[in-house]
Chains A and B, each alone.
Chain A
Amino acid sequence: MPNLLSKRKRGLLDHRGLWLLALPALVVVVLMQYMPLPGLIIAFKNYNYGLGPWKSSWSGFSNFTYLFTTGVAARITYNTIKWNFLFIVLSHSLAMLVALLMNELSRRSIKIYQTIFFFPYFLSWVIAAYLGFALLSGDRGIINTLLTRMGRDTVIWYAQPDAWRVILPLAYLWKHFGYIAIIYFTALIGLDPQLFEAADIEGANRIQKVFRISIPQLKQLVVILVMIDIGRIFRSDFGLFFQFTRNSSTLYPVTDVIDTYVYRALLTLGDPGMAAAAGLYQSVVALVLVLLSNKLITKLDEESRVF
């Protein structure tokens, strides 16, 4: 028996078991994610439908230039990063707060809250856009009707970019905080009760327990989730920026992001090569950002690093 244990510790026997556990998922990932990747080659091609991805002629980097030639390039890059960064901070803070609060309550009431917080996640942006329009529409919107009743001037919300600096985060939070809260809450109820019992013995109060146990215990999960979000920081929630804003062009200074720009730019041409170029650009930037943040995290706290 001790012999077996030391063998395991040297990592001889267990490798087969671990590989066995990892293999099915790896096969799926390779088959579904890696195998189609060579197709990205079309980002560098003059795509011809008759010739297909391999035989089409090379075009160098010319498929990329539309992303950078105009003054819009700076704006869409800035908006994309700014909004995603803000969304990450806001949604994770609110979700964490709600999860911690829920953790203080009895199981029965939690079930109800948990279910309700999840509701907005089920409504597609298309539906949310209609509800938003009912609130914000110029002549008949609920908000403008209230403003009129109060004797105030009405606002053309869909032509008022500044207002969307507030509306966008609210809409995002409304739709997304619920499921992030559930993620955190799940982690909290999974914590070892002994940790809290020990703190009880030391006479810690509720707030102290939150700061000394709950939050530190969630640290690794936060790091992972934020890292995932950073991996997507150059892509945007298209439904929010396109459908929810009704693609209203007067709002672009605030709401225009890379994805909406690419959609608009390729509307006439529908060129697969140029679409692929945009995707590749977003991927490369995200890769750089992820690697940098991983370095930073490793430096700050070796334990929490993701890779």
Chain B
Amino acid sequence: MDYLTLGSWIVAFIVMIGVILAFFRIFEKSKPRVEHLVLIAILVAISILGSLPTAAIPGVQAASFIIIMTGIVFGRETGFITGVLTPLVLGLFLGLGYWTILQMIGWGLMGLTAGIFRVKLGENSYIRAGFGFAWGFFYGWITNISMLLFLSSVTLTSVLGVYIASAPFDLLHGVTNAVLLILFFGLFERIFKRIRDRYINSPDGEAKSLNKQ
């Protein structure tokens, strides 16, 4: 236990912030359309509305459902940006902290992977439920890093200890995800697809004029 461990944690956090800022820069450089911006804003607001009433219970997070749906319907970039911005805006409501960075990474990757496997996830409801269930655990494991910081040594036993302590919450999160993805996938897919086909992917010449500037 020395400066090496503490220093590498600090460096790791700085790298995480740097990666997030780099993705933001890429997003800025891509000159997104106004429709796209408003769409992401409303999706972030919806997922926060889903998680604000249950913010006190660590396991139940309806935000994950909306983020996975976003990834599946709108693709990986929108899924990633929505996932990254949700904890940031949630933090402005409930208070920011160093854990916000880990939540951003966790939810961002959730949206990104949902976008990558969108074809398979859209077809098969079993794969979808399994995906949501697995991400309940992955998200828990990523946010658990905020606990590992304060343990004296990062060994297999310490990692296992923290992860066993958080397992019930992760299980709850995963089960919530899976149930929501089975029951309400069709309903929300219909709503999201309508918007996507009508406004985002529409061959509207006028809409693209902003891109050229």
| Chains A and B bind each other | no
